[in-house]
Chain A
């Protein structure tokens, strides 16, 4: 794999991690309202999958959507402005954390009702089918979302009509606070796709290179008209379900074990977020040497100075995004009315 791609993975994951850390701070300060679901720990999935996406592909995701939006190319300042509820937000202040949209980038939204992503995805895929273009729809969802009826209904239709969808399960093992063994009779999610004859694989979602390689392969098949594909990525969120959830239902050893697999490298210094001490992880029998940052440095992709420069660049981007969001105007009631029925611009009601 070339150096550029490696640097891109690291940059995107770091941007995502640092953005989310800052968002948590802004939430605590009261600049962001509502429910807020953060993504630290799962970055390798969004980054690996979306690096394999083309501009013509559609993306549908859940309420944990900031990082998908960012990696898809929505400018960070428009993401922050949306979180601040401003007119320059990617949904013009009408969507908020759980409903980020960007028509230009074919980002079909974050959905806050679990299970809505599948019908939207197969609908966009039907449009692709009608047009006959080599495009794919990428559909992100969590392990908690596979017990909704729409999962089964939509997978059936996707397989029946060979719709160009890549189903991406971000299996973080928890449906809010209910662990997968307590919410699913079949805990290996990918096996469910077999019921609909959809090719499916389970992959380590903490390894961005593996995520990317499998996504690239699956998307190639999807775009070639071979029908839907299904990837299950085993991942973990380092935080609770949302800002109001301390995640205390999870064993400390389990959290530490996954933190040791942090895709962005436990060794990265100058962190505003707590990382476990490598020695204590070793005492648990865990090895942190395979973390990405270390690998990059070892492989000569990036030296320590390069890493520090990258961190500084990201800090500057975040500061600018927050400043932009703070200064952006509030949407008006007229903006809200226009948003409700944008189709009426050319039509008189009565």
Chain B
């Protein structure tokens, strides 16, 4: 099996889908001749030409809307929003258009649109270039959101997104871009919305996604050295959420810890905590606990930035509190 970096896996996925279906086009700022700011579209311009790999002006609102119109009329566009931060300019196209046109038309129009958004907290990029929007997008009926954490998932989930007949947002993580991992292009992929158990365990359920799923795995390694076995679930999809896999784990362990890079207030973790409490209340031996980013914009200062988002040590500390049942002190 080959070893690819995250960006190479995304690149291979685009190449495979463009080769198999002429309706697939890629568009965004600098995706063509330049090859993409994160290299994801490298080589595609030369291979598929300027019409199928379209360099757009800096006009997020309208080129995302263009992709919506193209998706309604038979193309399968893949939009690259250079960083998720610029997606705020395209929210009307995503929320009012892509998510609602199939519905408003009574199902006459499908929306085979994929929108890729590298994001997350990277390294000292400042408040306007370090954020996540999953909480905003999760609240929109009609959008699907996948959050690949590994090169293998980046490959599979992007291909599945392009083949889907409704709008899929692919939330990539900038810090994962050069992570390498095995990618089996021939393997049959699990459904895009299926969560996976990355590490089995009996003492607590540790749910996470994207880059933080890897941090959770690192934390679980430390916990195991102390004799605490955390079951680590990588969600892979934030909309819909695979409740079955999560609930089965919580019923087994009786403890729920959620680790997320998004802010705590009204975030994905809040939905997971509420949804799993509703489903598994009788199995829970303590209140669910969340480890999340502080409710602050991201500071440029390196130390403050590290404090703002959870580190493996924070996850370990929260796991201790959860199994000792003194979580209230942590939350306070």
Report which A residues bind B (CB closer than 8 A). Answer: 58, 60, 89-95, 99, 101-103, 108-109, 111, 113, 116, 118-131, 149-150, 153-154, 156-157, 160, 331, 335-336, 338-344, 346-350
Contact = CB atoms under 8 A, between A and B. Distances in A.
A338 B107 contact: yes
B326 interface: no
A283 B56 CA distance: 57
Given A119-B69, A346-B165, A350-B242, A153 B105 contact: no
Which has the most chain A C-beta neighbours within 10 Å: B65, B165, B244? B65
Which has the most chain B C-beta neighbours within 10 Å: A90, A103, A160, A338? A103
A343 B111 contact: yes
B71 A342 contact: no
A150 B73 contact: no
A108 B74 CA distance: 12
A118 B75 contact: no
Contacts of B166: 341-344
B57 interface: yes
Contacts of A101: 101, 104-106, 108-109
Contacts of B77: 123
Contact of A153 (B62, B142, B165): B62
Nearest to A106: B73
A92 B57 CA distance: 37
B61 interface: yes
A118 B62 contact: yes
B57 A99 contact: no
Nearest to A92: B106
Which has the most chain B C-beta neighbours within 10 Å: A58, A95, A120? A120
A127 B101 CA distance: 17
B76 to A, nearest CB: 11
A130 B51 contact: yes
Given A127-B70, A149-B61, A344-B166, A91 B105 contact: yes
A349 B242 CA distance: 9
> What band does the interface of chain B fall in when counting residues whose beta carbon is under 8 Å from A?
35 or more
Contacts of A344: 165-166
Interface in B42-88: 51, 56-57, 59, 61-75, 77
A350 B66 contact: no
Given A99-B104, A127-B70, A154-B62, A343 B164 contact: yes
Given A119-B66, A123-B70, A338-B107, A343 B112 contact: yes
Contact of B59 (A89, A126, A157): A157
Contact of A120 (B75, B97, B142): B97
27 contacts: A58-B73, A93-B106, A94-B107, A108-B69, A108-B72, A119-B63, A119-B65, A119-B66, A119-B68, A119-B69, A119-B93, A120-B65, A123-B71, A123-B73, A124-B69, A130-B25, A149-B61, A153-B57, A154-B59, A156-B59, A157-B57, A157-B63, A341-B142, A342-B108, A343-B165, A344-B165, A344-B166
Contact of B165 (A89, A127, A347): A347
A149 B57 CA distance: 13
Given A99-B105, A339-B107, A343-B165, A122 B141 contact: no
A278 B117 CA distance: 62
B165 A349 contact: no
B191 A350 contact: yes
Contact of B103 (A60, A122, A336): A336
Nearest to B240: A349
A153 B77 CA distance: 19
A123 B25 CA distance: 12
The 4 closest A-B pairs by CB, nearest first: A123-B69, A119-B65, A343-B165, A92-B106
A153 B59 contact: yes
Contacts of A89: 106
Contacts of A127: 69-70, 73-75
B124 interface: no
A343 B110 contact: yes
Given A95-B106, A119-B97, A130-B25, 18 more contacts: A91-B105, A101-B101, A113-B92, A113-B96, A120-B65, A122-B65, A123-B67, A124-B70, A126-B69, A127-B75, A154-B62, A156-B59, A340-B102, A341-B166, A343-B110, A343-B165, A344-B166, A349-B193
B264 interface: no
A324 B56 CA distance: 47
Nearest to A160: B57
A342 B57 contact: no
Nearest to B109: A103
B62 A150 contact: yes
B165 A122 contact: no
A119 B165 contact: no
Given A99-B104, A343-B111, A118 B65 contact: yes
B194 interface: yes
Contacts of A120: 65, 68-69, 72, 97
A340 B143 CA distance: 9
Contacts of B70: 123-124, 126-127
Contacts of A99: 104-105
A109 B112 CA distance: 17
B108 A103 contact: yes
A47 B190 CA distance: 52
Given A102-B108, A119-B68, A343-B166, A349 B102 contact: no
Which has the most chain A C-beta neighbours within 10 Å: B51, B106, B107, B244? B106
